[in-house]
Amino acid sequence: MTDATARPTPQESRPMNPILTIARRELAEGIRNRWVVSTTVVLAALACAIAALGAAPTGATATAALDVVVVGLASLTIFLVPLIALLLSHNAITREAERGTLLLLLSHPLSRAQVVLGKYLGQLVILALATVVGFGFAAGFVVLRNGAEGWQAFAFMTLASVALGAVFLALGMLASATVQESSTAAGIAIGLWLLFVALYDMALLAVLVARGGHAVPGWVMDLALLLNPTDAYRLLTLGEGASAMLSGMGGVYDNSSLTPGVLAGALLIWCIVPLAGAMVLFSRRNL
């Protein structure tokens, strides 16, 4: 009797990609801890509330209901999605260290960079699922009542919202790789959220007011907008089309040399740089 039946096939003998293994582990933990369900429910509830309020007054206007909802949801995204992303990722590394599972995890044949990237991908799947499903409920509600006109802008806003969440996931991973304790990482995460969501624009407005009406060079203003991922997101989603008129961002976009490609590239860089920094810091970290 031969042992041909016991011999593993090439597909069975091929080891699973370590990054995907870590990502699946992170996703399973997110499902087990109700992160997927809770974030989806929160986003869906708030998105549907905004959709119900925002779509109501559009019956006698030429503006599509979904265009109105895009403005409201984009404003919600700027405040809520970064916070959810930072809550997801700020203790990705420190949690493992405090539970004593980090050494066990690193005993497997994988690098520290693969651990960071795998955790990041798993959390990105959680955030993307919550955002797409949550906003999808709102879109379905509006489409059933007012039709599907403006769905392209809504789909683009949803995709950009996932990209903004990816930026703050990377920033949270960087915070987690920088410090030793989850409480410290949480403090950094709160500081990052306050800086980019509230304080940065307040400081920028104060500088503009302090100039006493003197014009700011265009390239300086463009650079200031690119240095804040939430501003890049706001200009990307609300700078063109009907949303620009409703949000008031059309004037800023028209006086800027920034294009959608540049703004999308800025969000990509905002993802890559903190994530690369997290990989470097974690590789040099003493356990």
Quick: pLDDT tens for 184-216: 999 999 999 999 999 999 998 888 888 775 677
Identify whether 65 is part of a domain: yes
- Whether residue 11 is contained in a domain is answered as no
Band of the pLDDT at 71, cuts 50, 70, 90? confident
Q: Span 2-21, mean pLDDT?
A: 58
For residue 139, being part of any structural domain is answered with: yes
pLDDT tens for 256-284 read 889 999 999 999 999 999 999 999 999 98
Contact indicator for 84, 253 with CB cutoff of 8 Å: no
Residue 10 lies in a domain: no
Q: Domain residues for 223?
A: 16-283
Tell me: the pLDDT tens digits for 157-178?
A: 999 999 999 999 999 999 999 9
The dihedral built from the CA positions of residue 128, 132, 135 and 137, taken in this order, carries a sign that is negative
- Number of residues that this document lists for the chain: 287
Task: Please state, for a pLDDT cut of 90, what percent of the chain lies above it.
Answer: 46
Q: Within a 10 A sphere around the Cβ of 25, how many other Cβ atoms?
A: 14
- If one counts the domains in the chain, the total is 1
Taking residue 95's Cβ as centre, other Cβ atoms within 10 Å add up to: 16
Helix (H, G, I), strand (E, B) or coil at 160: helix
pLDDT in the model for residue 11: 44
Single out the residue of 242, 86, 231, 92 nearest to residue 165, CA to CA.
86
- Does residue 70 fall inside a structural domain? yes
What's the confidence (pLDDT) of residue 36?
A: 81
Give pLDDT tens digits for 102-160: 888 888 888 899 999 999 999 999 999 999 999 998 888 888 887 778 788 899 999 99
pLDDT at 287: 66
Cα gap 23→121, rounded to integer Å: 6
- Shortest CA distance to 154 belongs to which of 84, 64, 226? 64
- Segment among 6-20, 90-104, 198-212 with least mean pLDDT: 6-20
Residue 14's pLDDT band, with cuts at 50, 70 and 90, is: very low
Among candidate residues 83, 82, 102, the one with its CA nearest the CA of residue 92: 102
From CA 157, how far away is CA 135, in angstroms rounded? 10
Q: Could you tell me the two tokens for 281?
A: 């810091």
End-to-end CA distance of the chain: 51
- Whether the Cβ atoms of residue 242 and residue 153 lie closer than 8 Å to each other: yes
> Considering the entire predicted model, what is its pTM?
0.89
Residue 5 lies in a domain: no
87, pLDDT greater than 90: yes
Predicted confidence at residue 214, as pLDDT, reads: 67
* 33: DSSP letter: T
C-alpha to C-alpha distances, 168 to 63, 120, 124, 157, 162, nearest whole angstrom: 32, 11, 10, 17, 10
Q: Which of 164, 154, 160, 19 is nearest to 85 (CA)?
A: 164
Residue 264 lies in a domain: yes
- Contacts of residue 44, defined as CB under 8 A and 6 or more positions apart, other chains included, come to 133, 134, 135, 137, 138
Closest CA to 40 of 52, 48, 29: 48
Judge whether 2 lies within some domain: no
**Please, what is the angle between helix 112-146 and helix 260-283, to 10°?**
150
Which residue has tokens 């090439």?
A: 10
